[in-house]
Chain A
Amino acid sequence: MMDYLYDGTFEGLLTCLYYNFAKIKATGIYRTDTYQTSLVNPHVAITTKEQLADKMYEKIRKHLGTYTLTDLYYCFLSEKDGFENILLSFIDLCFRNGPVYAGYHTHKEVIPFDDIVGKVKREVQRYVGYVRFKAVGDVLYSEINPEFFILPMLASHFADRYFNEKIIIHDAGRSLALISKDGKHFIMPYTETDLPGSEKEDHITNLWKEYFQHIAIEGRINLKLQRNFVPLKYRKDLVEFSKPK
C-alpha cells in the first residue's frame, strides 16, 4: 500500500496505473509538485516510462474499449484536485468487474467519474462554438479562458476547419497555445497577448455586434435563458458580449 506520485503527464498517470495493477496496489495517485506527505502511507515517485504507459493504454483499450479510454483522457484533462483517485477507483472497478461496469452510472465509484467527464465534454462542446478569432496579419488569434485543459480536444476540429489558415488558440490561464497550420497542429507554451488590431478588424467586429443586437426578438427577451446557455464566466471570451470601447 503506497501513494504513487507522477509528473502530471497522461503517460505518467498511465505508468502509475500500470504499477498499480502489476505490482503494488496504490492508495492514491498524486502529482509530485502538489503532494502533501501523508503520515499513514509511504509514497514513491514514479518515473514516467513510455513503454509501460503504452502497455497500459493497450490493455485499457482492449478490455474496456475506446469509449472508456477516451473518457479517461477527458477526466485527465479536467486537472481537478484529486481527479486521479476518482479515475483510479473507477478503472479499478471496471477491471475487477468487467467493462459493463463502465455503464453502471448509479454506482458510487462511477458517479463522480461521469460527473467530471461530463463537465469537460460540455466545456469542449461549448468552446467549439465560443472560440472567437481576430485576424492579426494573416494569422487568426484567439484568447480563451476555459476551466479545464481543453486545447487537445479542440485541435482536430479547428485544424480541419481552418485547413489553409494559420491559427493560434491561446489558453491564457495556462499560458499554452494550440497552433495549427496546413492541417497540422501542436500545443506549446505561449504568453504574448497584446496583438495589434486593425481598422478592418474593428469594422468586422462591429458588424457582428450590430447583427447580434438585431437578431433577438424583442417580444421574447429572456435573459435567464440566455444565461443558461452562455454563463457569465465565458462572456469575457466572446466579442459580442464585450462593451463598446
Chain B
Amino acid sequence: MDDNLMNKLAILAEGAKYDVSCSSSGVERLNNGKGIGNARGWGICHTWSADGRCVSLLKLLMTNSCVYDCSYCVNRLSNDVPRASMSPEEIAMLTMEFYRRNYIEGLFLSSAIEKTPDDTMEKMYRTLDLLRNVHQYNGYIHIKAIPGASSDLIRNCGYLADRMSVNIELPSRESLKLLAPQKSFEKIMPPIENIRNNILLYKDERKSFKKTPKFVPGGQSTQVIIGATPDTDRSILSVSEKLYSDYGLKRVYYSAYMPVNEGPNLPSLFSAPPLLREHRLYQADWLLRFYDFSVKELFAGNSSSIDSNLDPKLNWALNNLHLFPVEINKAPLEMLIRVPGIGHISASRIIRERRVNFLDFERLKKTGCVFLKAKYFVTCKGKYDGESLDSEFIRRKLLNKMDYQQISFLG
C-alpha cells in the first residue's frame, strides 16, 4: 500500500484505455457460496468516464513495456513513456478490493509483451489462478490471448476466464505489414481458432457430460482500428462478417484511431479521430448481428464505404425502394426490423399492439420508433404519409432535418 502502486495503476490504466471492450454480459452465474461474486447475463455498467464510455471492468495491462514496435500503439518499444509492471498478486488484490466495494464488474486483463508471449501468458494465467482458486473470486474476467503463446497456456486460461479476445487491430495483411511488421495474420489467427475449437469441443462434450468444465462461456471478441490505414468500410465489415460466421465471435469492436504517435505511415498527430465513421461501422455491425443483413446488401453495387450522412439501414432502404412501403399491420417481424427508424424494441411492440388493434400513424408514433424516418417507408391501414416514395426526395428531406443533429454528434 504505497504511492508506488498508485503510479503503476495510473500508467497501466493509461496503457489499457485504448482497448474498447468493456462488456460484462453473456454469462449468468450465481455465487458458488465459497467466495465473492456472480455474473449477470445482461451485464452491469458501474460508472462512465469523462469520454462517455462505460466502466464495467477494471482494465489493466500487466505491463506496458513491450518488445514490439507497432506504429499505432502508445506502448511501442520506441516511445519514451513511463513503464511499469504489476505482479499477479497486486492485480488480484486490486481486483478483489474494487470488486468488494462494487466499483467494478470484473477484470479485463491485457498485457504488452515484456519478454516472450509465453512468459506473459503464464503471468496472466497466474493472476487468474490466484483470483479464482485462492481468493475464490466468482465475478467476470475478460482476458487477452497473446498471439504466439503456447496453445496449452491459452486453453488453460480459457477455463478460468469468461471471455477471451485477440485483437486483430488491422483488417488486412498489407496494413499489418505497414504498421506492425512484427505481427502477421499467421500469428494472430491460430489463437482465435484455438479458442473457437475449444468452445465447440466444450459444447459438444456438454451434451454427454453434464459437469464438463466451462470454456470461455462469454465467447470471444476482437478489435479493429479505424482510420489508421486506408482500409475501406467494406473490407473491414467483410472481415467482421467472416469472424461472426466462421469463427463464432460475439463482438468485433471498432476503435477510431487516436493519433498518439508520429510516423510516415500514420495520419498526422493533429487529425481528428474518425468518430462518425466509427459510429456508422457500429451501426452496420448491429445490422449484421441482429437484423440479419449481409455485407453484400449494405454496399450497393461497387461502393466500398458507408455514406456517413445517412445511417446504413436508411442507405440500404433507399437503394431498395422496390421493397417499400411496408404495411405496418401485416408485415412479418423480419421485414419490420428492416424499416429505417424501427428497431427490435419498437418492432416487437408493434407486434404486441397488433394483437389488440390496428395501428394508425398516431399510435405508431407512440411505439417509440423514429417516425421521422419510418414514415417514408410504411403504410398504416393502407395510408401513406411520406409524400413521395422517391429516393432523391427522401434523401433531401432527411438530410435537411438531420443537419443540426450531425453537428451535435461530432461536438
Contacts and interface: CB of A to CB of B under 8 A. Distances in A.
Interface of B is mostly: loop
A128 B104 CA distance: 11
A105 B353 contact: yes
Contacts of B381: none
A101 interface: yes
A206 B352 contact: no
A105 B352 contact: yes
B50 A129 contact: no
Interface in A210-245: 210-217, 219-226, 228-230, 238-240
B130 interface: no
A132 to B, nearest CB: 6
Interface string A134-173: 1100001010000000000000010011111100000000
Given A103-B356, A207-B6, A226 B101 contact: no
Given A140-B101, A165-B36, A219-B258, 20 more contacts: A100-B352, A106-B366, A132-B102, A133-B101, A161-B31, A161-B38, A162-B36, A183-B31, A207-B5, A216-B17, A216-B53, A217-B18, A217-B258, A220-B256, A225-B48, A229-B54, A238-B47, A239-B103, A240-B47, A240-B103
Contacts of A134: 101
Of A129, A130, A164, which is in contact with the most chain B CB atoms at under 10 Å from its CB?
A129
B101 A204 contact: yes
A203 interface: yes
A226 B48 contact: yes
A103 B47 contact: no
A215 B353 contact: no
Nearest to A98: B356
B49 A210 contact: no
Contacts of B98: 204, 208
A29 interface: no
Contacts of B53: 216-217, 220
A161 B49 contact: no
For the complex of A and B, list the 9 residue pairs with the smallest distance between their C-beta atoms, beginning with the closest. Answer: A225-B52, A103-B352, A216-B49, A220-B51, A216-B50, A106-B366, A229-B48, A214-B13, A129-B46
Nearest to B272: A219
B50 A160 contact: no
Interface residues of B, number: 59
Nearest to A222: B52
A23 interface: no
A198 to B, nearest CB: 12
A135 B9 contact: no
A135 B99 CA distance: 12
A131 interface: yes
A174 B280 CA distance: 45
A230 B31 contact: no
A224 B97 CA distance: 30
30 contacts: A104-B357, A105-B366, A107-B356, A111-B366, A129-B44, A129-B45, A131-B102, A132-B101, A133-B100, A133-B102, A135-B101, A157-B40, A161-B139, A162-B100, A164-B33, A164-B36, A183-B31, A183-B33, A200-B1, A204-B101, A211-B10, A215-B16, A215-B55, A217-B18, A219-B258, A219-B259, A225-B52, A229-B52, A229-B54, A230-B47
